Amino acid sequence: MFDIGFSELMLIAVVALVVIGPERLPRVARTAGHLLGRLQRYVSTVKSDISREMQLEELRRLQSEIEESARSVEDGLSSEMQAAKQALTATAEAVNREIKAPPASAPAPSLAHSPVAPPLPGDLPGTSASRSGPGTSA
């Protein structure tokens, strides 16, 4: 703390011995030691309080930065969700319109243009027309 060397301390001790006297010097030294101890504890307490406050302030700043970042991410996700929801809604509406509207390019099926061939006279039930062809026995 102070730049005091050994020779300076010896000079202070000699002056104190002369001024205070040999009978009261031990009691004064003990009291001075207690006061210096209290002073050191007080300074230590103040330093730790200041350090704690600085750490608290840093944590508060960090917390606010994290909250701001979280809000930013939340806003970004919210806007992306809204965009995705709108795209899905538009797609669903387009699909619903296509399902409800009849297709204009393909004609409706009719019975007149059926690809099924009419039955032959021998195929009708109750007729006994014989076929002469491969795979039939006559």
Model confidence over 68-124: pLDDT tens digits? 999 999 999 999 999 999 999 999 999 999 888 766 665 555 555 555 555 666 655
Q: Which residues contact 108 (CB under 8 A, 6 or more apart)?
A: 102
Report the mean per-residue pLDDT for the chain.
82
Checking if the pLDDT of 38 tops 80, the result is yes
Please report where in the chains the tokens 């050191």 appear, as a residue.
40
Checking if the pLDDT of 48 tops 80, the result is yes
Question: How far apart are alpha carbons 75 and 65 in whole angstroms?
Answer: 15
pLDDT at 6: 85
> Is the overall model pTM greater than 0.85, yes or no?
no
